[in-house]
Structure formats: structure tokens, C-alpha cells
Amino acid sequence: SQTIHQWPATLVQPVGSPLSLECTVEGTSNPNLYWYRQAAGRGLQLLFYSVGIGQISSEVPQNLSASRPQDRQFILSSKKLLLSDSGFYLCAWSRGGASGRGTDTQYFGPGTRLTVL
Amino acid sequence: AQKITQTQPGMFVQEKEAVTLDCTYDTSDPSYGLFWYKQPSSGEMIFLIYQGSYDQQNATEGRYSLNFQKARKSANLVISASQLGDSAMYFCAMREGRDDKIIFGKGTRLHILP
């Protein structure tokens, strides 16, 4: 079965510090990978998604970046955090490939709660 | 225009009653998928149920069913015999055609009262 891991679970960082959040998926190959941010009491905002190694699509211009150095690893980074970067960051995966995209469910990791002070 | 609309920001329901959470969607793609997720206070997003645009029957998963009305572009989630553990945020979502992205609604916070 497939599992998705995120770490750290919680993080408190000062403004201007760098950020690195990691997400890994087990039990599948060539997944589509996604980073979302959820502000307190709000819905999900898609930040980045990737359909393969080195292929990153950005949805929202911001000071965040994403990388996919390995097939099942997705990293969210920032060089200098802003107060507005605080939130709950969720990584998700779905089955990759060209067929059946309309039916492919996204499965989420446990999330990272980031507080920028 | 919003692709997914959830008009109920919050709902209070008595335990053991049935609950209907509303969701309408907007797409011109004939092929799409509709999803419902549950987010308890722990923050994890739990997949509940899926409905494909070409599915002839409404999807069901245990106590969850999806009332799919294609002509009205409506995909309401029905929870039968609600339980205290159903208290959570519920998100409706849609994936269009061969798009890799899923679009989420703003969610409905459901409170089950003892």
C-alpha cells in the first residue's frame, strides 16, 4: 500500500529565515505530487505540482519554490520566510501517467504546521 | 468565477440525524471527477468519496453517499446517521478532464451535537 510522509510536523521559524519541508511517498512510482497551503480556517491553496522529476508547475507567485530531486520526493523551500508564509502545508500524491486522470484521487500527508514569528 | 462553491460555511446537526453538505461546480469539460474530503481538527485530509462525470449511479461509501445531479452541476455529500466523530471540515473538489490539478471549495464546518 502507498504511504506519504511529511516532516517536520511542526515548525516555528523567524522572519527572514530559510525553509525546507520534505515530502516522500512510498509504494508507488512516478506519482503526481502536490504542495498546498491552508491558512487558519481557510480552504486549500495549490502552490506547486509536479508530474515528474525536475518538472514543477507553480500556481501562485510567491517567495516559495519547489523541487523534485527524486521520483518520490518533493521539497518546498524558501530563502527568506515572510509572516504571511505561516500556515498548514499539505503534500499530496495521485497516480501519475496519461490515463484516467479524471478519476485519480489525491491522497494527503499529515501536514506541517509552520509558524513564522 | 469559482469552480467549486460550498455555500454552507458552518452547520450544526443533532447526532444520528442525516446531513447534506452542498456543493455546486462549474465546468465545460464533459469529463471530470468530483471528490469529497474530510479534515478533522488534527489537520489530515481524508478522502471520502469519488463521483465520475460518466458514472450512471450515485457513489456510496458506507455512511457516505454523493447526490450527483449532473444537469444542475450539483454534487452534495450525504452522511447518514451522523456521529460525533463526523464533526470536521468537509471539502468538495473537482478535477477536470486530463488536468493534473484538483480544485477545492472553501469547505463546510460540520458540528455534530450530542
Write out pLDDT tens, residues A16-54: 999 999 999 999 889 999 999 998 777 888 999 998 898
Minimum distance, in Å, between the CA of residue A8 and any CA atom of chain B: 14
Q: pLDDT band at residue A74, thresholds of 50, 70 and 90? A: very high
pLDDT band at residue A89 under the 50/70/90 scheme: very high
As a whole number of Å, the CA-based R_g of chain A is: 14
A105/B47 CB distance under 8 A: yes
pLDDT band per the 50, 70, 90 thresholds, residue A95: confident
Q: Which of A20-24, B72-76, B89-93, B95-99 has the lowest mean pLDDT?
A: B95-99
- The confidence score (pLDDT) of residue A100 equals 44
The length of chain A is: 117
Question: What is the pLDDT averaged over residues B58-65?
Answer: 95
Classified as helix, coil or strand, B81 is coil
Peptide bond into A31 cis (omega under 30): no
Instruction: Give A-chain residues touching B33 at CB under 8 angstroms.
Output: 102-104
Do B43 and A92 lie within an 8 Å CB cutoff? no
A43 or A83, greater pLDDT: A83
Residue A27, CA distances (Å) to A4, A5, A9, A92 in order: 9, 12, 21, 14
Whether the CB of B43 is below 8 Å from some CB of chain A: the reply is: yes
B97–A113 CB contact, under 8 Å: no
For residue A101, pLDDT beyond 60 = no
Q: How far does the CA of residue B32 sit from the closest CA of chain A (Å)?
A: 5
C-alpha–C-alpha distance, residues B114 and B112, integer Å: 7
Average pLDDT, chain B: 93
The gap from C-alpha A10 to its chain's centroid, in whole angstroms, comes to 14
Give the model's pLDDT for residue A99.
47
Among B37, B93, B95, whose Cβ lies nearest the Cβ of A101? B95
